[in-house]
């Protein structure tokens, strides 16, 4: 769609490497490849966590109290506003309904520009980890108002759409799923040499956890359960891939686990494929990119029966679902896979088959189609 101009506003584009920032960078790379002009507005840090795609306009921000690695946008500066005015976008895409997102929404309404939003973070599920559940009614009231001003809201899964509908979000909810680079995640990356170097024996059953290491990912449950399983089944070993503020504390809780730190590229693909099971009890995901990567790597996935994950894992087919707060359920399901080699192999094959359906180009083409639909309706 040559000639189309899109302005994207986000709370994170390159200062933390997470699912949100990587998804938006892939989208921008795709749009630029389709000759769409894109300008991104968001907070920045020096040095950034990674090199970003496209042009990023920095906005004023502050460190989040208690979580200094995160930034809170506090304004759309006059410099950024001037850049936005000069760019004169056809569509405003707001990825985070924060103060920056509010400023962008107000700017768009005042100029009669179409606004869309994408739902990346299930904010309400995070509140319990910060003892802020009393704020939930106020948060949903604001989100209902915010999304009512958007022509479309893009959600990553049907299960997330159902949650928003139950919370009376009455916007036009459209599915913008997440994708997988199938050539980068595959069982072919499994390496016996890598396993030996990490101290795993051929007969060991390696249970992996891949994510940014923050308590909101239900790290305590992972650590407690794998320790319990290991005491009953000595061949069970834990592999934890990732970095984050909880890294040192998790090492103290489960010192016998193998910690790789942050991995990317073929190193990450090898870690996935060299595991035997993927256990991810987080209930804060809107989609679950790591679960999809594990599926493409040929792993049965045991995940929380929660938004996002349950759109990827079919219970009893390519893994199991259990309530995030039910450790006994998780224990029994994982135990079943530990003792049943045939079931593990069957679910591994099903994971690979399901992952094939998620292509980034196809998924981002869908989003570009939504943009086109909006502009055609405007004209």
Statement to judge: residues 159 and 238 lie in one domain? no
Question: Average pLDDT in the 118-147 region?
Answer: 73
Cis peptide before 47 (omega within 30 of 0): yes
The count of other CB atoms within 10 Å of the CB of residue 266 is 11
Q: Which residues contact 200 (CB under 8 A, 6 or more apart)?
A: 206, 237, 258, 274
Q: Is residue 189 pLDDT above 60, yes or no?
A: yes
Q: Is residue 363 pLDDT above 60, yes or no?
A: yes
| Confidence (pLDDT) at 297 | 96
What order of strands is seen across the sheet that includes strand 258-261?
258-261, 236-241, 205-210, 277-280, 301-304, 319-322
Give the strand pairing for 319-322 and 67-73: unpaired
For the chain, the average pLDDT equals 91
Q: Which residues contact 67 (CB under 8 A, 6 or more apart)?
A: 245
Statement to judge: residues 155 and 197 lie in one domain? no
Coil, strand or helix at 322: strand
Please give the tally of structural domains in the chain. Answer: 2
pLDDT band at 20 (very low <50, low <70, confident <90, very high): confident
CA distance 70 to 16: 7
Statement to judge: residues 138 and 35 lie in one domain? yes
CA distance 99 to 108: 14
pLDDT tens digits, one per residue of 223-274: 999 999 999 999 999 999 999 999 999 999 999 999 999 999 999 999 999 9
| Confidence (pLDDT) at 288 | 78
Statement to judge: residues 154 and 194 lie in one domain? no
Statement to judge: residues 193 and 163 lie in one domain? no
Q: Is residue 314 pLDDT above 60, yes or no?
A: yes
The overall longest dimension of the chain from CA atoms, in Å, is 66
| Confidence (pLDDT) at 115 | 98
pLDDT band at 1 (very low <50, low <70, confident <90, very high): low
Residue 117: give the domain boundaries. 5-179+359-378
pLDDT tens digits, one per residue of 43-98: 999 899 899 999 999 999 998 776 777 788 988 999 999 999 999 999 999 999 99
Statement to judge: residues 284 and 371 lie in one domain? no
Percent of the chain surpassing pLDDT 90: 72
pLDDT tens digits, one per residue of 280-303: 998 877 677 899 999 999 999 999
Residue 101 is part of a domain; what is its CATH number?
Answer: 3.40.50.2000
The pTM (predicted TM-score) of the whole model is: 0.73
Statement to judge: residues 175 and 209 lie in one domain? no
| Confidence (pLDDT) at 216 | 85
pLDDT band at 2 (very low <50, low <70, confident <90, very high): low
Statement to judge: residues 14 and 148 lie in one domain? yes
Statement to judge: residues 80 and 152 lie in one domain? yes
The count of other CB atoms within 10 Å of the CB of residue 280 is 24
Q: Is residue 123 pLDDT above 70, yes or no?
A: no
| Confidence (pLDDT) at 132 | 59
Q: What are 247-252's contacts with CB under 8 Å, separation 24+?
A: 247/213, 250/213, 250/219, 250/223
Statement to judge: residues 69 and 27 lie in one domain? yes
Statement to judge: residues 370 and 349 lie in one domain? no
Which of these, 80, 344, 309, lies nearest to 206 by C-alpha position? 344
In this predicted model, which residue has the larger pLDDT, 170 or 367?
Answer: 367
Statement to judge: residues 223 and 169 lie in one domain? no
| Confidence (pLDDT) at 156 | 87
């Amino acid at each position: 769609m040559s000639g189309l101009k899109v302005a994207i506003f986000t709370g994170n584009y390159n200062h933390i490497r997470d699912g949100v920032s990587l998804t938006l960078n892939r989208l921008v790379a795709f749009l630029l490849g389709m000759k769409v002009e894109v300008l991104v507005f968001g907070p920045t840090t020096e040095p950034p966590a990674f090199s970003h795609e496209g042009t990023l306009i920095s906005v004023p921000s502050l460190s989040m109290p208690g979580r200094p690695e995160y930034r809170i946008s506090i304004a759309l500066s006059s410099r950024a506003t001037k850049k936005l005015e000069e760019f004169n976008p056809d569509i405003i895409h707001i990825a985070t309904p924060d103060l920056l997102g509010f400023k962008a929404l107000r700017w768009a309404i005042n100029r009669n520009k179409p606004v869309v939003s994408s739902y990346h973070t299930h904010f309400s599920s995070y509140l319990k980890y910060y003892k802020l559940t009393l704020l939930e009614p106020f948060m949903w009231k604001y989100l209902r108002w915010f999304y009512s001003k958007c022509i479309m809201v893009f959600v990553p899964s049907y299960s997330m759409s159902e949650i928003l509908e139950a919370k009376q979000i009455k916007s036009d909810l459209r599915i913008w799923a997440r994708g997988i680079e199938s050539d980068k995640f595959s069982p072919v990356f499994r390496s016996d040499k890598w396993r030996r170097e990490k101290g795993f024996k051929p007969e060991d059953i390696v249970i992996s956890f891949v994510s940014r290491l923050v308590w909101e990912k239900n790290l305590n449950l992972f650590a407690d359960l794998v320790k319990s399983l290991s005491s009953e089944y000595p061949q069970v070993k834990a592999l934890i891939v990732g970095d984050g503020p909880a890294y040192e504390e998790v090492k103290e809780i489960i010192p016998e686990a193998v910690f790789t730190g942050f991995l990317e590229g073929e190193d990450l693909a090898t870690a996935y494929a060299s595991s035997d099971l993927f256990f991810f009890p987080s209930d804060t995901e809107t989609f679950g990119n790591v679960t999809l990567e594990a599926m493409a790597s040929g792993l049965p996935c045991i995940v929380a029966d929660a938004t996002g994950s349950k759109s990827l894992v079919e219970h009893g087919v390519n893994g199991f679902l259990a309530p995030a707060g039910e450790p006994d359920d998780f224990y029994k399901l994982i135990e079943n896979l530990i003792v049943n080699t045939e079931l593990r192999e069957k679910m591994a094959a099903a994971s690979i088959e399901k992952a094939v359906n998620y292509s980034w180009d196809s998924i981002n083409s869908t989003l570009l189609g939504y943009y086109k639909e909006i502009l055609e309706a405007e004209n």
